[in-house]
Amino acid sequence: MDRYIAVTVIKATLMTLLALTVLAFVLTLVEEIEDVGKGDYSSWNAMVVAACSTPRFVYESFPVAALIGALLGLGGMAASGELIAMRVAGMSSRQILFAVIKGGVLLMLLVVAVGDGIGPVTEQYGNQLKLEKQKKQITFSSRNGFWAKDGNAIVNIRQVSVAEELRDVTIYELSADQQLQVITRAATGQYNFGRWVLGEVRQSKLDALQIHTRRLQWLAWDSMVDPSVLSGALINPLMLPAWDLWEQIENLKSRGQNATTYEVTFWGKIAVPLTTIAMLILAVPMVMSSSRTTAAGQRVFTGAILGTLLYLFSRGFSFLVLAMELPAITVMLFPLVIILLLILWLNRFAVR
């Protein structure tokens, strides 16, 4: 019976997630269609970019889909009398809960695979494809920063604070026969009046005999890399693997820089699989506390509203953490505490 309950919940959750994903794909495609015609950006490219963005939605909406799916699965079993039959056969509410959790563990593994495996790869590919077609510029984003082909130069930018502020910029200038001629390293970069200005510059020119190095406080940099290219090419921190986020946090702290944004994102990623399990647990008392005649649509509507509210409150709380400089780990604890309180409240009405 445990396996039957787990499989029922998993199927219902995946079907719910599929429906939400298709809806998200269509809405994203409608938005991308507006950019068709810019450069070489075609309708087919828009479809590919929309498809590449769906893993982000899958990851963010997984807890809500888990709640709705569990309500559909368990609610269907309650409506058909299967749950009552299991209870008569001696299965307790706790055993039903553990069966749901077993299915939740498998779903949690799927969440981690999407958030730390599939999502970063597809989003990076989609962003690069869109930039290459619209801006006709080759770009690449990795754990070592942003890379771009800029005329006869290759540019590496390790960090972008905002679209017009750069950190750790390295420019490799090549000759006509693709030989390295100049290496320019700058600690900062700012976009002012249509051009980049690099700060704290160290420039090395290479010839056949020696390397000539000079240091400059400021250096004007005429480049095809504009702020819109940077903002479009960078991967959203939410879709970075957890281990890359942790590495970014350590690097920023070692340089004495503020890592709060990355810390909030890291703990938010840790919260998603845990919140998925909590949502599945929440579905059990929601079904047990409702009558057998409760319509499936009513359960789904209740689950959708509750899940959406929890999602919005969690996102709002993350902004509050950034604004008030609260401990980043509270981003993970906040939704779990809210769900726990709901579970305790619903257990008062659940049939045992």
The overall pTM is greater than 0.75: no
Q: The tokens 């905002």 sit on which residue? A: 162
CB-neighbour burial class of residue 93 (10 A; exposed 0-12, middle 13-18, buried 19+):
middle
- Is the pLDDT at 33 greater than 80, yes or no? yes
Asked which of 16-30, 44-58, 164-178 is least confident by mean pLDDT, the reply is 164-178
For residue 200, pLDDT beyond 80? yes
Per-residue pLDDT of 80-125, as tens digits, reads 777 778 777 777 777 888 888 888 888 888 877 887 788 878 887 8
Distance (Å, rounded) from C-alpha 93 to C-alpha 87? Answer: 8
Give the number of other Cβ atoms within 10 Å of residue 36's Cβ: 14
pLDDT at 294 over 60: no
Higher-scoring residue by pLDDT: 173, 194: 173
Strand locations in the chain (E): 139-142, 145-150, 153-162, 165-174, 180-192, 195-206, 211-221
- pLDDT averaged over the chain? 79
The pLDDT of 57-75, averaged and rounded, is 84
Question: Measured between alpha carbons, how far is 201 from 192 in angstroms, rounded to an integer?
Answer: 17
Query: How far is Cα 282 from Cα 89, in angstroms, rounded to an integer?
Result: 24
What pLDDT shows up at residue 29?
92
Reading the block at residue 141, the tokens are 């984003």
Asked if residue 157 has pLDDT above 80, the reply is yes
The answer, yes or no, to whether residue 332 has pLDDT greater than 60, is yes
